[in-house]
Amino acid sequence: MRTVLLSKHDELYLEKCAQENQFSYGIIVGHQADLTKSIVVHLARNNEEDADVEDLADVRLTISDINSQALASQWLSASKMCPGSFDVIGIFVSSVRSDVVNEQSAEFKNAKKLFSDIYDLLLKSNSSFGVYTTDVAQTDFVFLSYSLADKKVLCKNYSYGNGGTFTNMEYKFVEKPFEWIQLECSYDLDDVLPILDSSRRVNIEDQFQNIIVSVRKNLLASEVFLQNEVVEDTIDLQAYIKKKKTKVDQHKPTSASGGTATVASNTTNSLPQLASEAIIGGGEPIRASIVLPVKCQLSKPTDIKVREFSGTLHMSGIIATKVFCNPRNSIADVKRFVRDDVLRSLITRIQVYCDGLTDPYVTNEALYISEPPRRVFFSLPSEGPSTSVGAVVQFSEYLFRGEAPTVVVAQAKQILDVELDPETISVEAEGLPDDSNFTNANTGADRTDDSRIMPSSMPKPELSRSLYMVGIAVALLVLLASVALHYILAER
């Protein structure tokens, strides 16, 4: 039977929600420790209640009154802020009345309908829902209700499909703090994709979707190395760390870049590849790498062809990731979490960028430069006794150039119901692009007093045709060189 583990702080938060608003609801952010245990990382009540109601104590709200649209919006927004090892795993209800913990009450029946409505809204409102991860989409969720009158909790597992079903689920309030081990990863993106759309006006959003498909394909084919070696997927992270600690003096690398280079040369016979460095927190740092195979290794020989296309799409930059794992997580889980975090961060910043586009089309004669928002990190403020040991759990948000950390403060309050100090937000994980890249691209173009030179969320597409042709020529040379290299290697 599946079990949900909560901290004493979670119990106090449920009590606080019922005392302050008489009836509250929100999302549950959790972590899958193993096949049968989920750890509640954070509870966040929904802040979309009617601001015109001065005294909520006089309003007898029920589950049927919950705004499913507002809850689905909070669910989706929080999912984008979670690291790859965390997910929104369900919803909670906190009330002064006892019927919310009675399985025979109308409230319990309304909860099933609420789940079904929310899931449908998530599927309709976000085409990427279910593709945030490199694994299968989530279909089992947690329903947690708390009664202040009885000081009781009802916890059920909700399965989507066939109208939705509730099954029994255990819950425990754990006295011992949860332990977290942190992984940090700097994932380099530097690739060129063909634009196969022959239309004169190209849809930018469609091209960004092609980036997501390409990166996801590469991540699924990648291998994650720990300390420059392949680690068996079936062992757990705790056992691996203990084993490495006994040999820390012999295996301590001098630098992160040196470790990654060793992996590249020893595992791929010096073939070019894309690698990322990661650090596993908790004790002595352990370095790891995500190694992606070269493209010709992902394709059949018959798939390599010389084709005409309308342009190229060059993606370049760094995705900074932070993942938090339980010591009992298997190495297979750890690898999946790192891949998921890279993909989730890429999809999120593309969605945020596209949401601000006034016109998603650009002519194929133009050189279009885009600067999606960069990722920033913040820790959840501690309240009362510590509920965790080891690494401090962090979530993330995305800022465009020129936006202040106060934007993150507002989002954290609205979505996660936490108060942040702007000074504590880490904005250095991902640096801003070099201004010279944008200045050079605008050389020779007619300029007005706008943000064309300074990269913004909405860059201008009108650039010189000569630069565009140079880009095509360079891309063709790269393609021909790749084909030649393939035949040389094939003959050997």
Q: What is the dihedral of CA 297, 300, 302, 305, to 10 degrees?
A: -40
Count of Cβ atoms closer than 10 Å to residue 388 Cβ: 18
The C-alpha atoms of residue 95 and residue 454 are separated, in whole angstroms, by: 51
- What is the predicted pLDDT for the residue at 297? 61
Angle at 143 between CA 165 and CA 147, to 5 degrees: 125
Provide DSSP, 172-229.
EEESSPEEEEEEEEEEEEEEEEEE---SSEEEHHHHHHHHHHHHHHHHHT-EEEETTB
Report whether pLDDT(409) > 60: yes
Pick the closest to residue 237 from 378, 377, 341, 85 (CA basis): 85
Report whether pLDDT(129) > 50: no
Q: In this structure, which amino acid lies at residue 256?
A: A
Report whether pLDDT(16) > 60: yes
- What is the predicted pLDDT for the residue at 49? 56
Query: Does 385 or 408 have the greater pLDDT score?
Result: 408
Beta carbons of 72 and 118 less than 8 angstroms apart:
yes
Alpha carbons within 13 A on the beta-carbon side of 10 = 29
Sketch the domain layout of the chain as residue ranges.
3-174, 180-488
Q: Are strands 388-390 and 178-195 parallel, antiparallel or unpaired?
A: parallel
Which residue reads 């990427």 in tokens?
128
Q: pLDDT band for position 268 (50/70/90)?
A: very low
Mean pLDDT for the stretch of residues 7-36: 93
Segment (H or E) for 119? helix 106-125
Beta carbons of 88 and 140 less than 8 angstroms apart:
no
Give the tokens for residue 324. 């938090």
Angle at 106 between CA 103 and CA 109, to 5 degrees: 70
The C-alpha atoms of residue 468 and residue 149 are separated, in whole angstroms, by: 69
- Helix H, strand E, coil C: the string for 72-102 is HHHHHHHHHHCCCCCEEEEEEEEECCCHHHC
Mean pLDDT for the stretch of residues 302-306: 70
CA 406 to chain centre: 21
Report whether pLDDT(187) > 90: no
Pick the closest to residue 289 from 304, 278, 303 (CA basis): 278
Q: pLDDT band for position 437 (50/70/90)?
A: low
Segment (H or E) for 339? helix 331-355
Lowest mean pLDDT among 327-336, 360-369, 374-383, 421-430: 360-369
Lowest mean pLDDT among 221-230, 319-328, 435-444: 435-444
Its pTM stands at: 0.80
The C-alpha atoms of residue 17 and residue 175 are separated, in whole angstroms, by: 21
Beta carbons of 347 and 443 less than 8 angstroms apart:
no
Report whether pLDDT(161) > 90: no
Secondary structure E strands in 338-427: 361-363, 374-379, 388-390, 394-399
The dotted CATH code for 3-174 is 3.40.140.10
The C-alpha atoms of residue 209 and residue 354 are separated, in whole angstroms, by: 11
Q: pLDDT band for position 257 (50/70/90)?
A: very low
Q: What's the whole-number average pLDDT of the chain? A: 78
Count of Cβ atoms closer than 10 Å to residue 89 Cβ: 21
- What is the predicted pLDDT for the residue at 366? 77
